[in-house]
Amino acid sequence: MRKLLITCMLTISSIASLQAQAAEVNIYSFRQPFLIEPILKEFTAQTGIETNIIFSKKGLIQRLKREGELSPADIVLTSNFAKMLQIKEQNLSQPYTLSGTLTENIPAQFRDSENHWLALTQRVRNIYSSKERSGDQSAIRYEDLAKPEFKGRICTRSGKHPYNLGLIASMIAHNGEAETEQWLSDVKSNLARKPQGNDRAQVKAIKEGLCDVSLGNSYYLGKMLQDPKQIEWANSVNLNFPNQNDRGSHVNVSGAILAKYAPNKSSAQKLIEFLTSKQAQSLYAELNMEYPVMPTAKVSDLVSSWGTFKADPLPLEDVAKLQKQALKLVDKVRFDL
């Protein structure tokens, strides 16, 4: 009897030890660690669940495929919804549990209908304009960039970048493929130079007088204002939220997706719910000067100074379905050439 009791106690102890070891979440992140580490530390402090993070700008999807069922990844954090789409389309994800917490915190337009991914922050696709040469562009629409008045005045990064493909896909959703093709062709005719560089490079070009307007995400303005070498670029432009008098501005998102073979699914679910909490949403938005997805979460003081905006209510899933179509149009009009 004594031996049986000791055996039972050892078994219980072993199970408890295994459970303690399992109290962790493994994260593959396309987002830089400094943006999420403060949030993960708070998560661990509140739950006792440890987090392990692997960061890379490229190759994480290939890594998931290569690892297969042996992958330690529980959650993948992305900087745009294109990556979440790829992971789902390649059968590398699984549904999370759509709890009351997630339903309450994240509007339906920012969640996958099959619960594979959800958005965490909004990234508005703005139009930057020269303070010196462009006048008041506060009522500008994306459609306006095709007008003759912008001939030789527009700068942008590659049309094939996920941020621009998302915008083009949204244009297809609203205006149809034929009209969007004509718009894209006209915008190309209005370019001041071949598409190149990143969003900040376009604002630099405005400061240098190479162009007068550019496409760019809003949070880059905050990043430039914090960089002594780039603050002059930021101060040379106005940040405009397009289509405010009709459908609203297009937004891309950063987000989270549950890995298909997540070994710590329960802990991963808790982290996903924590990332959608008001505390995490406000901190997430503060660190990278983005907009929370949770409607009641606090926006940083700097971001608040840019004013409020109306976002396009089109579900991201509807935009996502048109990404390949958008890419075909970019190639068809030879936008980057």
Give residue-wise pLDDT tens across range 137-192. 999 999 999 999 999 999 999 999 999 999 999 999 999 999 999 999 999 999 99
Q: In sequence order, what are the residues at sequence separation of 6 or more whose Cβ sits closer than 8 angstroms to the Cβ of residue 221?
A: 128, 203, 234, 237, 239, 289, 306
CATH architecture entry for 124-250+316-332? 3-Layer(aba) Sandwich (3.40)
Is the CB of residue 173 less than 8 Å from the CB of residue 313? no
Length of the chain, in residues: 337
- Euclidean distance between the first and final Cα of the chain, in Å? 82
Cα–Cα distance measured from residue 51 to residue 261, given in angstroms and rounded to the nearest whole number = 17
- Whether residue 283 is predicted with pLDDT greater than 50 in this model: the reply is yes
Residue 13 pLDDT more than 80? no
Mean pLDDT (whole number) for 200-206: 98
Cβ 279 vs Cβ 105: under 8 Å: no
Pair of tokens at residue 214: 């550019």
Secondary structure of the chain: what % helix, strand, coil (to 5)? 50, 15, 35
Distances (CA, A) of 214 to 82, 154, 180: 22, 6, 18
The pLDDT confidence band at residue 286, using thresholds 50, 70 and 90, is confident
Band of pLDDT at residue 73, cut at 50, 70 and 90? very high
pLDDT at 205 over 90: yes
- Enter the DSSP assignment of 240: E
CA distances from 174 to 166, 167, 247 (A): 12, 11, 9
**What residues form DSSP beta bridges with 24?**
50
* Beta strand segments in 59-189, E: 75-78, 117-130, 154-155
Q: Which helix (H) or strand (E) holds 46?
A: helix 33-47
With bands split at pLDDT 50, 70 and 90, how would you rate the model's confidence at 285? confident
CATH classification number, 25-122+252-298, choose in 3.40.190.10, 3.40.50.300, 3.40.50.150, 3.40.50.920: 3.40.190.10
| β-pair type (50-55, 237-240) | unpaired
List 28's β-bridge partners, or say none: 54, 76
Q: Which two tokens stand for residue 210?
A: 């190479």
Report how far residue 75's alpha carbon sits from residue 94's, in angstroms, rounded to the nearest whole number: 10
> Residue 173 in contact with residue 105, Cβ under 8 Å?
no
Q: In the structure encoding, which two tokens stand for residue 134, read together?
A: 């462009």
Intervals of CATH 3.40.190.10 along the chain: 25-122+252-298, 124-250+316-332
Identify any residues that bridge with 217 across adjacent strands, giving them in sequence order. Answer: 125
CA-closest candidate to residue 209, choices 140, 144, 155: 155
Contact predicate 253/80, CB 8 Å: yes
Q: Which residues face 53 on adjacent strands? A: 27
pLDDT at position 32: 83
Structure confidence at residue 17 as a pLDDT band (50, 70, 90): very low
- Amino acid code (one letter) for 252: N
Residue 119's Cβ-count burial label (10 Å; 0-12, 13-18, 19+) is: buried
pLDDT band at 327 (very low <50, low <70, confident <90, very high): very high
| Residue 217 in this model has a pLDDT that exceeds 90 | yes
CA 143, 145, 146, 149 dihedral sign is: positive
* The pLDDT of residue 127: 98
Evaluate if residue 1 carries a pLDDT over 60. no
